[in-house]
Structure 1
Amino acid sequence: MRPRLGRLLLAVTLGVLSLTSALALAGVSAWLITRAWQMPPVLDLSVAVVAVRAFGISRGVLHYCERLASHDTALRAAGSARRGIYHRLARGPVDVTARLHAGELVGRVGSDVDELADAVVRAVLPIAVATVLSLIAVGVIAVISLPAAALLAACLLIAGVVAPWLAARGATAQEELARIHHGDRDITAMLALEHAPELRVSGRLPAIIAESGQRQRDWAKAVDRAATPGAYGAAVPTAAMGVGVLGAVIIGIGISGTVAPTTLAILMLLPLSSFEATTALPGAAIQLTRSRIAARRLLALTGSGAVATVIASATPRDSALRGTALRAGHPGSSPGSVVSLDLKPGARLAVTGPSGSGKSTLLMTIAGLLPPIAGDLTIGGVPIGTVDEHQLHSWVAYFAEDAHIFATTVRDNLLVVRGDCGDDELTTALTRVGLGDWLQALPDGLATVLTGGASAVSAGQRRRLLLARALLCRAPVLLLDEPTEHLDAADAEALLRQLLVVEGGLLEPGRTVVVATHHLPGDITCPRLHTQASRYSGSGSRPPQPDLERTQ
């Protein structure tokens, strides 16, 4: 998260000053009440009256400033954490994220980072402020009575250490369970949002929505159970405060003959304010528990925080792809069948096979996103695993079936592939994939905002928009995963012919094109690779997905 130390110290300082004002307010108020009972001249009370007003106002002002500084620190830290996570997801091992559902990824990058950032405001800051304030309170009381100071220190220790430890220990197991329910809820919700039309046709949408609602209720119950230990922990500081105040009263009665009445009032009332900081510590301990759980999930997502490194940085001679006894698969899952590849620059290859046969996994392996389970894979005579990541992506580009459509302009959705494209080039690419009339009908052309991202276009338009990205890419090897899915049969066959023909097609003759598809026209004469159906198993496999193809 890399929280800025200066801002964090400023927030702690403001928090300490705010609660110190409350502590001083209690002490001065006790002195003022007792002194006023003695009916001295009014001028003797004027300084105390002004001090009470000053401390009362400064407490609120300083607390507001502390909130500004602490939330600014937390939000900046959350931004730093997300930036680091995105960096590691882009450059780290792909096999970890490839096994997770989109809903699980959203939950981790969203709510888990928020939980991590909450540790600054709800844990680190209260602990630091309570520690400093407790030392000040004990020091002030020690000037009046050492036994009272020792009793106050013991009560503060129980309220500030024992109670939070009990609350955190009791909440750990329940929080783990709540996280599981939260992830299941996100998965079912994302499934309903992303595939609502297909699920509605198959009659499964009401069941998915009902399941998402049940997951939400299970999550809420788990969160309620997790709050129960925190409630018990929150009660302990109140009990400790009662013991501390009662002890101060008893000790004050014992020394009443040797100290002034105003001093006795301070001794009895000051402990009340000193416990104000410790009441938030059980919640801080529970927040630390939640943040630790979130941190573990984020570290698992980013490969224990280690960015993938390259052993060597070899440069391919050309774009020739060669695979010998190659087997692709996700770690921990059943590998696909053995395949051999020998694609010279400009070659075309169609990868066919039923759903679940490993077509996408094979393309991801060729792209260097997944390591081969077995066999050798080279580009230009150089093993793919030894090529620098940035250089490899400039040679081989993989366009996934479920690539994201951003809720921004049409122009920006195309520029994510190559940022130096002019509007003429973007318009040409859209026209070549059959979106020319659609573009002309948009109110602002390329500047039209696709509100909602993929929901702003039809399934066929989304597929053509993703294909336009591929046309704009300059990588010599293009790997296209189901580029014509959701198109009608005639349009799909026409686009496949244009993609797989060498001369006069959508792509230049010198570029290597590999297309994974369910449906391949019989008159296409390019080489074909048929993958055998296999069912993934084991903890490393992807979560079960709905058989959407059956509902088309």
Structure 2
Amino acid sequence: MSGSDPLRRALPLLRPRLPRLVLAVTLGVLSLGSALALAAVSAWLIGRAWQMPPILDLSVAVVAVRAFGISRGVLHYCERLVSHDAALGAAASARVQTYRRLARRPGDAAARLPGGELAGRVGADVDQLAEVLVRALLPITVAAVLSVAAVLLIGVVSLGVAAVLAVCLLVAGVLAPWLSARGAAAAESAARAEHDGRDVAAMLALQHAAELRVAGRLPAVIAETRRRQRDWGAALDRAAAPAAIGAAVPTLAIGAAVLAAAVAGIGLADQLATPTLVILMLVPLSAFEATTALPAAATALTRSRIAARRLIELTGDPRVPLPEPTPGPEPAGWDLTADQLRAGFPGGATGFTGNLALPAGTRHAVTGPSGSGKTALLLTLAGLIPPRAGQVRLGGVPLSELSEPQLRARIGYFAEDAHIFETTVRDNLLAVRGDCTDDELLAALDRVGLGDWLAGLPDGLGTVLTGGAAALSAGQRRRLLLARVLCSPAPVLLLDEPTEHLDIGDAAALLRAIMTPGELFDEGRTVIVATHHLDATAGIVAL
């Protein structure tokens, strides 16, 4: 791999444990080496037994056959244990490093991606990257070692057959994987876009089915998901041709090697002993056992390289340590102001345009129809995406001059689709502030109307939300997210649709509590809410 290869660049994410990998390769070589030795000893035993020698002449070979047969299975099992332990450890490391780098990178690195694509990158792509150890690196190394050993073993008997075997092993171990990799690359490059589009459309339908149904757009979103799935299937069909050829090549190579061994064996019949001839005929069959896994290894290598590239786009080059955050000037208070601001997602339409003055401790509502740019404005005010034009200041200091820790400690953005983790209620709330006591968590849940719900849970705060958000109704999820906001220490809170999925009466009451200083949030905190409801009791920023 070259220095610019995404897999080489992504190694700091994996942090593979070299001793475990060496042990896994050693066990893999010993396992398939046992298979090769089993074939050679079995061939000798067949040829020698045909000569009907005294039984004691065969006893050592009989014991060796049993030993190699047993050791092959035992060593393969041990290799699986060690290699999967190394891969799972690397996946855990990659996931931790990905989150750490995301936490220290500018917020727009993740905020610019749709939820479905972001979930795919930190989920499936991390798993695919870690699989390179078990599904690519290990079989390729083992196949290389075993192929050399098989050629050397046959070379002792016949250099001609060894040369043909070497060529056939190269065809099965290089040409077939290359064809499979071509097919995988074509399928992945076409399918990634379809996957992302399908996931985005599916998540949109799952999370906003009610609103889409009212707007009459739900059938179109579902149809888009189906179209993306069909396009993915078509891409796979187009990529199947080189992969099919790659699957056929090893069989042809095996046939050629066996045929060459048979022809050579006939020519050498008068010069070699019968057991040696049988070894010459049968060992080439076993020599290809290691290469049969190489087409799948090449496919895994290609997919891991694509996953590594996508992760690097998200986290930056993992080989380059992220600089330590340099604190900027301390803001003088929590006043949020914007001068000649143009807010909007990069590459998208411009939403809010104008000036803003949001004094500390006040309540403001951002209203407007769907797609008008409410979320983009909140993300801009939070410093998660840069302004299209103009500047946002906190306490007189431009957000661009504040370090990421400074921003996150002072401005908290809480998304409409914030994640509910498949862990305890307690841990879901501690995600924003790890030093909250149970009493504070209970008070936060009670204030948002989840006190009775919590009392009905079997383990209270320690109850695991199996399935994450699936364990809650839409209204419970919204209230739990609001309780998480109450636990945040940030003095400026930006809430995106905090009362969605609640019935009209509960939504109005909860919104009124949010917008009334001192009722749900302390009077000194600034609260800015993006909402569709128009009965807010504070200043309105209309879009």
Which of 256, 281, 285 aligns to 1:272? It is 285
Aligned to 1:540: none
CA distance in 2, matches of 1:405, 1:452: 9
Structure 2 stretches lacking a partner, 5+ long: 1-13
Q: How far does residue 417 in structure 1 lie from its aligned partner after superposition?
A: 2.1
Match of 2:444 in 1: 429
Structure 1 counterpart of 2:519, from 502, 505, 514:
505
Query: Residues 161-184 of structure 1, C-alpha deviation per residue, up to 9 Å, x if partnerless?
Result: 122212322442233223333334
Match of 1:100 in 2: 113
Aligned residues of 2:106 and 2:404 also touching (Cα < 8 A): no
The answer to whether the aligner puts 1:286 opposite 2:309 as a matched pair is no
**Residue 523 of structure 2 aligns to which amino acid in structure 1?**
P
Q: Point out the more displaced range, 159-168 or 14-23.
A: 159-168
Written as runs of structure 1 = structure 2, the 5 A alignment for 1:305-316 is 309=323, 312-316=326-330
**Cα distance in 1, alignment partners of residues 82 and 57 from structure 2:** 38
Deviation string 1:125-182 (CA, Å, 9 cap, x unpaired) is 1111110011111112222222222222111111111222123224422332233333
Q: 1:389 Cα deviation (Å)?
A: 1.2
Quick one: structure 1 residues 475 and 52, their matched pair in 2 at CA, closer, same or farther if it must change by over 3 Å? same
User: Could you say which residue in structure 1 is the equivalent of 2:419?
Assistant: 404
AA in 1 matched with 2:239: A
Residue identity matched to 2:468: G
After TM superposition, give the deviation of residue 58 of structure 1 in Å.
1.1
Structure 2: distance between partners of 1:55 and 1:438: 62
SS state at 1:40 partner? coil
Alignment correspondent of 2:352: 337
| Residue range with higher mean Cα deviation, 128-137 or 281-290 | 281-290
What does residue 248 of structure 1 align with? Answer: 261
Per-residue deviation, 1:530: 2.1
> Is the contact between residue 112 and residue 346 of structure 2 (CA under 8 Å) also seen in structure 1?
no
Q: Which residue of 2 aligns with 1:519?
A: 533
Distance 1:141 1:343 in 2: 82
In 2, Cα distance between the equivalents of 1:512 and 1:307? Answer: 35
- Tell me the distance in 2 between the aligned counterparts of 1:123 and 1:161: 13
Task: Report the Cα distance in structure 1 between the residues aligned to 2:171 and 2:61, rounded to whole angstroms.
Answer: 33
Deviations 1:28-80 (A, max 9, x none): 11211222222222211111111111111111111121122222222222222
Name the SS for the 1:394 alignment partner. helix
| Structure 1: gaps (5+ residues) | 532-552
Deviation larger for 78-87 or 181-190: 181-190
1:414 is aligned to 429
Is the Cα contact below 8 Å between 1:238 and 1:279 reproduced in 2? Answer: no
2:143 paired residue number: 130
**Which residue of 17, 21, 28 maps to 2:30?**
17
Structure 1 residue 309: Cα displacement: 4.9
Which 10-residue stretch deviates more, 457-466 or 148-157?
457-466
- Aligned residue in 2 for 1:486: 501
Q: What's the counterpart of residue 461 of structure 1? A: 476
Render the CA deviation track for 1:164-208: whole Å, top value 9, x for unaligned: 212322442233223333334333433343234445666766665
In structure 2, what is the Cα distance between the partners aligned to 1:438 and 1:166? 57
Q: Describe the shift of the 1:348–1:208 C-alpha distance in structure 2 as closer, same or farther (beyond 3 A).
A: closer
Residues 31-430 of structure 1 correspond to what in structure 2 (within 5 A)?
Answer: 31-199=44-212, 212=225, 215-303=228-316, 309=323, 312-317=326-331, 318-430=333-445
Q: Distance in 2 between matches of 1:140 and 1:130?
A: 15
Q: Deviations over 1:479-535 (max 9, x none)?
A: 122223333444444433433344x4322222222222222327x3x433222xxxx
What CA distance in whole angstroms lies between the structure 1 residues aligned with 2:456 and 2:268?
Answer: 89
Task: Provide the C-alpha distance between the structure 2 equivalents of 1:429 and 1:275, rounded to a whole number of angstroms.
Answer: 64
* 1:477 partner amino acid: V
SS of 1:281's partner is helix
8 A contact 2:351–2:374 mirrored in 1: no
Matched-pair contact (CA < 8 Å) for 1:347–1:513: yes
Give the match's secondary structure for 2:366. strand
Mean Cα displacement is larger for which, 504-513 or 35-44? 504-513
RMSD across aligned positions (CA): 2.7
Distance 2:219 2:387 in 1: 40
Amino acid at match of 1:86: Y
Q: Residues of 2 paired with 1:52 and 1:114: CA distance?
A: 39
Q: Is the 8 A contact 2:343 2:377 kept in 1?
A: yes
Please state whether the residue corresponding to 1:341 is helix, strand or coil.
strand
C-alpha contact 2:325 2:404 (8 A) present in aligned 1 = no
Structure 1 residues 433-483: Cα deviation after superposition (integer angstroms, max 9, x where no partner) = 333444444454434444443344333333232222222222121112222
8 Å contact 1:493–1:520 — kept in the other structure? no
Following superposition, the deviation at residue 397 of structure 1 comes to 1.0
Count of matched residue pairs: 528
Does the 8 Å CA contact 2:121/2:311 hold for their aligned counterparts?
Answer: yes
The residue type equivalent to 2:441 in the other structure is: L
Q: Contact conserved, 1:93 with 1:303, CA < 8 A, in 2?
A: no
State the Cα distance separating 1:308 from its structure 2 match: 6.3
DSSP 3-state at the match of 2:123: helix
Letter of the 1:432 counterpart? R
TM-score of the aligned structures, taking structure 1 as reference length: 0.87
Change (3 A) 1:310 1:72: closer
Q: Distance in 1 between matches of 2:125 and 2:429?
A: 30
2:4 corresponding residue in structure 1: none
Provide the C-alpha distance between the structure 1 equivalents of 2:535 and 2:234, rounded to a whole number of angstroms.
53
SS of structure 1 residue aligned to 2:461: helix
Alignment check: 8 A CA contact 1:95 1:331 kept: no
For 1:273-307, what per-residue CA distance to the aligned partner results, in whole angstroms no more than 9, with x for missing partners?
Answer: 11111122122212222222222233333355578
Q: Percent identity?
A: 66
Q: Deviation per CA, 1:385-415: give whole Å up to 9, x if none.
A: 2222122211111112222223333333322
Q: Which moved more, 1:17-26 or 1:376-385?
A: 376-385
User: Does the aligned pair in 1 maintain the 2:328–2:403 contact within 8 Å?
Assistant: yes
Letter in 1 for 2:61: A
The TM-score with structure 2 as length reference comes to: 0.89
After superposition, the Cα gap between the structure-2 partners of 1:383 and 1:16, relative to the gap in structure 1 and judged at 3 Å, is same
**Cα distance change on mapping 1:443 and 1:527 into 2, 3 Å:** same
